[in-house]
Structure 1
Amino acid sequence: MNQAPRQRMTAQARRQQLLTVAWQLVRQEGSAALTLGRVAEEAGVSKPVVYEHFTTRQGLLAALYKDFDSRQNALIDAAMAAAGDRLQDKAAVVASSYVNCVLTQGREIPDVLSSLDSTPELAAVKRQYQLDFIEKFRSWFAPFVAPSDIPLATMWGMLGAADAISNAVVAGDISQQEGMQELSALIITTIARCG
């Protein structure tokens, strides 16, 4: 019997497969188990294939965070485009999108984020994504504080609160609903204080 020839994946499809395998490893065993060799083994490919895509473990961790950040931003952007014009509407959308995105990713994202702080290069990657989110967040809420601007310290505080609340939801310390309500209330109060 003739078997159909095995088809090669495109580079993009292979990269996504490797990222999916890496997320599964982090979910099952934590980021400490994440090595390029282990990803190759679990994906059923040779080590050079994984090295070609990520070069180093740090490159893989950065790619995982980029993957998470891209999905998070797409969800939040779509939700914000559909949100009402009131501060309460926008705050509720940001809060629910942020909490839901972290909750969907589960315990893996706090683990990956912790690993990103392990080297100066990875910390710089994480910081750049945070700065990008802060600027996006600032532009969404700028109409509510015009003509002034939201102070950078305030933006860092809101981002820290969003991360802490989301992580508490993932850990089961608070419910998803409690997390979204608290984050929404915090955003409203903070933006109102800046206006």
Structure 2
Amino acid sequence: MSSTPEKWQPPTKRIRLSREQRRQQLLDVAWRLVREEGSDALTLPRLSEEAAVAKPVVYDHFGTRNGLLIALYRDFDARQTAMIDAALEGSSPTLEGKAGVIATSYVDCVLAQGREMPGVLAALAGSPELEAVKRDYQLAFIEKCRKALAAFVGRRGIGPAGFWAMLGAANALSDAAATGEITAEQAQDELFETIVAMINRSHR
């Protein structure tokens, strides 16, 4: 007596990712590689293996290793921008509210990326492409802060040097928190005080 044949199942169809979805998948795998093995391990052939895609796909998206590293930097900054934008949108319309959000969000975003971002930046040291991209994001961040704090600035105003000093403090404090030299709370508190002091000077 023959057994009842199993019901036929069609073969599983591979889901085809859009170009943007594939790019994000590759970036996610690249971040994992940097986190687990360091930026030196990140090459386009290695990314191809880890993501289980053909090498031409990876080269089509990033072109070169520097192109991949720049894409990681852009990915980090895009998430940082979205995080700060959302926090500012929901913050109280006071100096303490805006300064607190800027300080907390900036430090939190750097810490959320762990040690991966310093590794990416180290791998790109001296790259003209990185300097151009960093400059664009720095100017955009300064303009965002200028708008968020505009209602609290005194008649003296705040020149470009003041905002560049604020950004320098934000980077130094975040890096110190990331390496464990200070706590996240200490970094956020000090950055908050730096922002408030900058505003207070504009009233003198």
Report the TM-score when normalising by structure 2. 0.90
Give the structure 2 partner of residue 109 of structure 1: 117
Give the structure 1 partner of residue 28 of structure 2: 20
Give the 3 Å change call, closer, same or farther, for CA 148–50 of structure 1 in structure 2.
Answer: farther
Of 65, 68, 75, which residue of structure 2 is paired with 1:60?
68
Which ranges of 4 or more aligned residues in structure 1 deviate by more than 4 Å?
none
2:48 is aligned with 1:40: yes
Question: How many residues align structurally?
Answer: 195
Deviations 1:25-59 (A, max 9, x none): 11112222221111111111111101111111121
Offset at 1:148? 4.8
List runs of 5+ in structure 1 lacking aligned partners.
Answer: none
Give the 3 Å change call, closer, same or farther, for CA 98–151 of structure 1 in structure 2.
Answer: same
Structure 1: distance between partners of 2:148 and 2:122: 28
Structure 2: distance between partners of 1:114 and 1:126: 13
2:39 corresponds to which letter in structure 1?
S
2:164 is aligned with 1:156: yes
Deviations 1:50-91 (A, max 9, x none): 111111112111111111111111111111111112211111
2:181 is aligned with 1:192: no
2:97 is aligned with 1:89: yes
Deviations 1:2-24 (A, max 9, x none): 42122221111110110001111
Give the structure 1 partner of residue 4 of structure 2: none
Give the 3 Å change call, closer, same or farther, for CA 134–66 of structure 1 in structure 2.
Answer: same
Of 155, 180, 191, which residue of structure 2 is paired with 1:172?
180
Give the 3-state SS of the residue equivalent to 1:42 in structure 2: helix
Structure 1: distance between partners of 2:108 and 2:78: 14
Deviations 1:137-182 (A, max 9, x none): 1111122115454211111111111111111111111111111111
Whose radius of gyration is greater, 1 or 2? 2
Higher share in helix: 1
Over the matched positions of the two proteins, sequence identity in percent amounts to 54
List runs of 5+ in structure 2 lacking aligned partners.
Answer: 1-8
Of 127, 136, 142, which residue of structure 2 is paired with 1:134?
142
Residues 95 and 184, structure 1, Cα contact 8 Å, conserved in 2: yes
Structure 1: distance between partners of 2:156 and 2:23: 44
Report the TM-score when normalising by structure 1. 0.93
1:112 corresponds to which letter in structure 2?
V
1:14 corresponds to which letter in structure 2?
R
Give the alignment's Cα RMSD to 1 decimal: 1.5
Give the structure 2 partner of residue 30 of structure 1: 38
